[in-house]
Amino acid sequence: MGNLISKGDLLITVYFEGSKKSKDEFEAILKFPLSDSLSASILVYEINAADDINNISVSKNKPVFLYITVKDRDIFSKAKSLKPSGILFPPLNTEIVNDKIENVYNAFYSENPNNIHDQEALKAKILAKAENIPPLPTIAKELVLLTTNEKADTKDIIKKIKQDQGLSSKVLKLVNSPFYGIRKEISSIDRAALLLGMSTIKNLALALTTQSFFAKDFAVYKTTGEKLWLHSFNTARICEAIASLEGGMDTDAAYLCGLMHDIGKTVLVDFMKSKGTSPELEKKQVGLDHQKVAEVILRKWGVAEYIINAIGNHHELSSGKLASVIYFANLIDHYPEDFNDLCETVAQILRISYYDLQPKINALIKDDENFGSI
């Protein structure tokens, strides 16, 4: 069961209200003891129908999680409007559930909160650094602008990429990876664009231009710069795959969202002191989370506002489709062992075909190893 977490004499305990089946499943993966009393430090309520939401009161005096076991977009939206401390959904992943509960507990019951004046000064420093982050490489900035320009000439995109020999060679390395399944080696950007499409080539090039921002020590986030960039790249490809099935969604915008969703960490990492991976712990330490910092950076870089808004909400199930796409893409890359169930949930919420989505995501997950040494 692992070590129980306590603060002084206060033990983390969890109250669960719901069906016996769900309670048994929840208890099986929980490393904290369940309590039958509402005096428990964390409250969890199962939502299996719209009426369940009407019977729940989310108090500011205690962290409340909602465990949604029905796949219904309207119920997700209503549950989110209650502003709980967190939302959980099947499949119950041991690491996700326990990390969320522990992080929320630590943030909510912190005995030694930072002095508010010191934290405000720190927030000002962080925002100033975000405002002064180095500009995107020229070609990256041009590619971002081309992403939101419907009249962009494909010849312009090819020309921009070919002007940077180092970038061109990296793009070709990706294009010739097993994922794209091209039997004969491609040796030119023009040929790659013809076979794979200009959007694919542009997005690969854009991803590669962001690598330099992750050339830092990310031990405080329990990862490395290379792994964090690779996670961003993989999340971008998953976002693109989901968006391609939605119909009216801009796949390039979805890709950009996935690629940039963790860019705020490249600034916050210079201010974090204790190891942690959640927005709650970021806020506890420095008063801001990486989503808020990302908004500042992306406005500095001239990214479209609707993309910024989606990235700024990617850790919550949102009524916005683009933010929901990032939310699930992020989870799928973090927990690929649960991708089948996650794909089913995505299909239900976004009303797309599971049978079209699952093979696309499966191909991306299997291909992760091909991108580990870029």
What's this model's pTM, rounded to 2 decimal places? 0.71
**What confidence tens digit (pLDDT) does each residue in 80-102 have?**
888 888 889 888 888 888 888 88
**What confidence tens digit (pLDDT) does each residue in 141-184 have?**
878 877 666 556 667 778 888 888 888 888 888 788 776 777 78
Cβ partners under 8 Å of residue 72, min gap 6: 50, 348
* Pairing assessment for the beta strands 14-17 and 34-35 based on DSSP bridges: parallel
> How many residues belong to the chain?
374
> Residue type for 326, please?
I
| Nearest CA among 90, 126, 41 for reference residue 345 | 90
Question: What is the second-level CATH architecture of the domain 6-108?
Answer: 3-Layer(aba) Sandwich (3.40)
Give CATH 1.10.3210.10 domain extents, the chain: 210-371
Q: Report the C-alpha gap between 284 and 281 in whole angstroms.
A: 5
Residue-by-residue DSSP string for 284-328: HHHS--HHHHHHHHHHHTT--HHHHHHHTTTTS--SSHHHHHHHH
CA distances from 252 to 134, 157, 170, 323 (A): 24, 14, 20, 14
Q: Report the C-alpha gap between 274 and 259 in whole angstroms.
A: 25
What kind of fold does domain 210-371 have according to CATH? Answer: Hypothetical protein af1432 (1.10.3210)
What CA dihedral angle connects 109, 112, 117 and 122, to 10 degrees? -90
Give CATH 3.40.50.2300 domain extents, the chain: 6-108
**What confidence tens digit (pLDDT) does each residue in 183-216 have?**
788 888 888 888 888 888 888 888 988 999 999 9
| Assigned token pair, 112 | 């030694």
Residue 250 DSSP label: -
